Amino acid sequence: MAVFYSSSALAQADISMTTHWNNRANYNPASIAKTEYIYLFSNVRHQWTGISGSPTVINVQASEYIHDLRSAFGISIINDNIGLTNVLNPTITYAYRMSPNEDLDSWSISLGLSAGLFARTINGSKYDPTDTTDPTLVYSDLTTYKPDANFGIEVQTKNFIVGLSTTHLFAISKNSDLFQNTNHRYLYAIYKNTSSDYFNFSLGSEIVNRNNLTVVEANSMIRFKHPTGLSDGPRELFDFGLSYRTTKQLSLLLGVNITSNFRVGYSYDYDFKLNTNQSGTHEFMLEYRIPNKASSICGSCDYQRDWYF
């Protein structure tokens, strides 16, 4: 029973994604207001390699900004497997962007809301207990379906991004139990600098809270560029970054621009806590964007926007 409840506690958390510094949409729907392109994102994360039943997350997202409506629309599907539990969380997302003018470097405020379904299954038929006569165990599969919603605000200027969001709104006033997803609160700030022809860099910090647990994370990233001398500016090549969480976890992030609109990324997490699995956690990421002139606030501009800002 101790193992059973420890698994359920892990399942109540939002998905863990080191690459959320590239894409924040899974916890802040306001961040999908990307004005220059149709955005496609996916990642696969396998935690604690070598441990049977360790968490595996598959995340797929797509969004598009419509300039005439000052609005972005998106869709997301998350599948989260932990031990004998499985979560399927499909959502649709809407974000509205407010800005004083069409200058991409001016400030903007985005409000976002996502809504969908949170379905959790416990595969009791896969139990393999030492005592098969234990009357507290249920050997049938059990699935619960609950409505789900997230809300967020994001403010952007030329050099800063500040966001505030809350997830699983229908769970705010409810106690956590075996099948109840848990409300989380996020507050983050990112400083960005893209002025150099040779590199971009960012510094970020984030606070995440759920119930009586608070985690703080710090991140730094640098992306190297190649000056082209062309009107579309320098070409981004590759990047690396480091993140550290107060849960004593250090993450290395790597990324390569295959083309100007297609990126692949990888991250590796290392746990510094004693008596934990040291095989680490691996995460693979794909990003693809389709420039959308029809919805672009820069109209017929032909320069290339930086990727992860």
Per-residue pLDDT of the chain (309 residues; tens, 9 = 90+): 344 443 333 444 688 888 999 999 999 999 999 887 899 999 999 987 777 777 899 999 999 999 889 999 999 999 998 888 889 999 999 999 999 876 566 789 999 999 999 998 888 766 666 666 676 666 677 888 999 999 999 999 989 999 999 999 998 877 655 456 789 999 999 999 988 889 999 999 999 998 888 999 999 999 999 888 776 678 899 999 999 999 889 999 999 999 988 999 999 998 887 555 566 789 999 999 988 765 444 544 444 566 654
Decide: 197 and 191 in contact? Cβ < 8 Å: no
Burial class (CB in 10 A: 0-12, 13-18, 19+), 69: exposed
pLDDT score of 77: 96
Q: Which candidate, 145, 93, 88, places its Cα nearest to that of 115?
A: 93
- Counting residues of the chain whose pLDDT is more than 70, the rounded percentage is 79
pLDDT score of 49: 72
Ordered by where they begin, the domains of the chain are 2-295 (2.40.160.40)
pLDDT score of 276: 57
pLDDT score of 228: 80
pLDDT score of 199: 92
Q: What is the pTM of this model?
A: 0.85
pLDDT score of 173: 76
- The pLDDT tens digits of the residues spanning 160-184 come to 999 999 999 998 877 655 456 789 9
Q: Which candidate, 11, 24, 52, places its Cα nearest to that of 189?
A: 24
Token pair 């609950």 in the structure block, residue: 146
pLDDT score of 295: 45
pLDDT score of 182: 87
The dihedral built from the CA positions of residue 68, 293, 19 and 223, taken in this order, carries a sign that is negative
pLDDT score of 51: 73
